[in-house]
Amino acid sequence: MLIRFALRTNFGHILPQVQNNAKRNLSDSIKKSAVGASIEESSVHRIPSSDVANCVNKPLNLRAFDSTDSFNAATKNSTFPRIPILKYRNKWVCINKPAGITVHPGQNERNRRRERHSPTLIAQLKRQLRRRIYLAHRLDHRTSGAMVLGFTSETAVKLHAALKEGEKTYVALVRGDFTVKYPDVVDCTDPVSVKGKLKDARTIFTRLASTRGRGDQHDAFSEGYEPACTLLAANPVTGRTHQIRKHLYGLGSPVLGDSAHGDSKVNRYWREHRGLNRMALHCIALDLPAYEGAKVGEAFCDDASGTVSDGDRVVCIAPLPEDLSSVLRGLGSLWEEALEKEPRLGTGFYDCHKNLLDETGDELDKII
């Protein structure tokens, strides 16, 4: 059996549980191998697994990242918290992004400070899949859900073009009873500000369920207060920064937990009394036309539904994470009504790579 891994200057980057003397032994083993003379930093080589096994005091912690985990907690407990994989193809991968992880290194100082304390999504996926990752689109730091990424820059460009023609479906829990002011379907075309300039934007909102609440809805901590809220499906036609969040704020129904475009007092109520410790926005589905050059039958790993192959439409469903679904289920009739209109809300959590990682070493070598 052979193991493939990315060689770096510091072996602790890949084998954090290898002690210093073991690192030296592994380095000597590689130098004696046939490829030793051509090794370069960040290159990929294959060496006998026995050479690695002799250097490792205990197995690497490839702990599965399940729906009950907080990403921040997983980061503290494991060097390699797993990102749930929804679909895996030879040229692209679809993931279920957790809330609270930045997709890509930012340009401003605030993002750089945050990245020093927690890894970016791109960095985590590179370690997990041991392949280069190229973005086709982004999700906000506090938004969870489906993302599709390419393994080559050419594939990422094609996926980006397919996203413009496809459909993205988000679910958002918002403040107030949407039916008081609006019909069940709202086509919002308000322009949004991007870097100080107004840009055309369009989002279609569909009401799934709502509650009227009790008490003074303008004072979240008044006596007898019960919050009015609405669960919406949002389909952005354009892809402006924070588009859904800004449109909902403009409609007077901000996303719960949104600190930038929301109601801080209502957010505090939901955090303290309902356990909502995140922004209630999740990309539940991607439906893309087949990108140019896709081939049928490339997959070795598929999602729970198992209905789509390359060369066909790219369809990915991202189950609700536990930190959001538990809050929605606690709303009783709202959850039941929404589930009737949008059955995908009830999709159980899964990670299509989780079982494969538990297979024998030979199978693991085929995967990575």
Q: Is the pLDDT of residue 207 over 90?
A: yes
314-317 vs 144-150, strand pairing mode: unpaired
Q: Is the pLDDT of residue 307 over 70?
A: no
The pLDDT of residue 305 is: 43
Q: pLDDT digits over 329-347, tens only?
A: 999 899 999 999 999 999 9
Q: pLDDT digits over 54-102, tens only?
A: 544 444 343 444 444 444 444 444 444 689 999 998 889 999 999 988 8
Q: Is the pLDDT of residue 236 over 80?
A: yes
* Percentage of the chain modeled with pLDDT above 90: 42
The pLDDT of residue 354 is: 64
The pLDDT of residue 313 is: 75
The more confidently predicted of residues 332 and 3 is: 332
The more confidently predicted of residues 23 and 292 is: 292
The pLDDT of residue 171 is: 97
Q: Which range has the worst mean pLDDT, 96-100, 260-264, 281-285, 316-320? A: 260-264
The pLDDT of residue 105 is: 73
357 burial via Cβ count (<10 Å: 0-12, 13-18, 19+): middle
Q: Is the pLDDT of residue 22 over 60?
A: no
The pLDDT of residue 287 is: 92
Q: Which range has the worst mean pLDDT, 76-80, 133-137, 189-193, 264-268? A: 76-80
pTM of the predicted protein model: 0.71
Q: Which range has the worst mean pLDDT, 11-15, 96-100, 157-161, 352-356? A: 11-15
Q: Is the pLDDT of residue 31 over 90?
A: no
Q: pLDDT digits over 121-170, tens only?
A: 998 899 889 999 999 999 999 999 999 999 999 999 999 999 988 999 99
Amino acid found at 263: D
The pLDDT of residue 156 is: 92
Q: Is the pLDDT of residue 15 over 60?
A: no
Q: Is the pLDDT of residue 271 over 90?
A: yes
pLDDT band for position 221 (50/70/90)?
A: confident
The pLDDT of residue 349 is: 83
Mean pLDDT of the chain: 75
The pLDDT of residue 82 is: 85
**Domain topology for 85-290+312-358:** Pseudouridine synthase (3.30.2350)
